[in-house]
Amino acid sequence: MPRPAPPRSILITGASSGLGEALARHYAGPGIALHLNGRDATRLEEVAALCRAAGATVATRVLDVTERESLAAWIDARDRETPLDLVIANAGVSAGTGRFGESEAQARHIFAVNVDGVVNTVLPAIAAMRPRGRGQIAIMASLAAFRGFPGAPAYCGSKAAVRVWGESLRGEVERHGISVSVICPGYVRSRMTAVNTFPMPLLMDAERAATIIARRLARGRGRIAFPWPIYFAVWLIALLPTSWTDNLLAKLPKKAGAE
C-alpha cells in the first residue's frame, strides 16, 4: 500500500493531555484542521488555544468515548465538514491494583474506555473514509500489549485487544484504501505516568514520542513500537514459557491503587 498523503484534517481522541495533546500540537499549523476530543473542558480548550496559535483550525468536543452514538455522530459531523485524513484513537485510562488486586468496577471501566472507546472511534471513521477510498487510522496500544503484567491486568488485556484488533483490521481495510497503524509506546511522561512511584526505564517526553509517531505514521508503518530496547525485552518475555517468567514478573513494582 502506498504511503498516506500528508494529513490536513486530523481527529484525535483524548487530546486534552499526554500523547493526545502532544500529537495535536505536533500536527498544528497553517492549513491544518484539528478535531479534538477530551473529557476535561478546561484542559481541552487550553490545548486548542495553543494549536490555534500555531495556525491550525480547531474544533473541540467534550465527550466520553464510551458514549457510542454521540461519538459516532460527532465523527460523522466533523467528516462532513472537513473530510478526515487521519483519525487517532488515543483516549485511554490506566489504574493500579493496590493491595487487594483489581476491582471488578475498575477492570470494567478500563476495558470500556480502552477497548470500547477505540472501537467506537475507529468504526465510524472507517465508515466515513471507505466511500472515498482513502484515509488513515491510528490505534493507541502499548508495549504492555505484548505480555500480561500482574500489576495491570485490565490495562495489559485492553491494550492487547486493540493491538491485535488493529493489526487484523489493517489487512481487512487496506483494500478500501485505508491504512491502519497500531502504536505501542513505552513509558511516556503524562498525567497517567506521573502517579507511578517506581522507576520507568527510558521514560520519554510526550513531544519526542509524538514526533516518532507522526514520522512513522507518515511512512504508513503497521506497527509503531518504541523505544526498541523495551520493545525487544517485552517481545522476548512473551516468547518465553510462563514457567520461566511468572515469578520474575510478579516481583516487578506495581502502580499504586485504591485499598
Strands (E) across the chain are located at: 9-12, 33-38, 57-62, 86-89, 135-140, 178-185, 223-226
Q: Look up 155 and say whether it is catalytic.
A: yes
> What CA–CA distance (Å, rounded) separates 194 from 198?
10
Q: Are 98 and 257 in contact (CB under 8 A)?
A: yes
CA distance linking residue 163 with residue 52, whole number of Å: 32
Backbone angles phi, psi at 157, to 5 degrees: -65, -40
- Cβ atoms of 181 and 4 within 8 Å: the answer is no
Residue given cell 517485552 in the structure block: 234
**Is the CB of residue 121 less than 8 Å from the CB of residue 137?**
no
Give the active site residues.
155
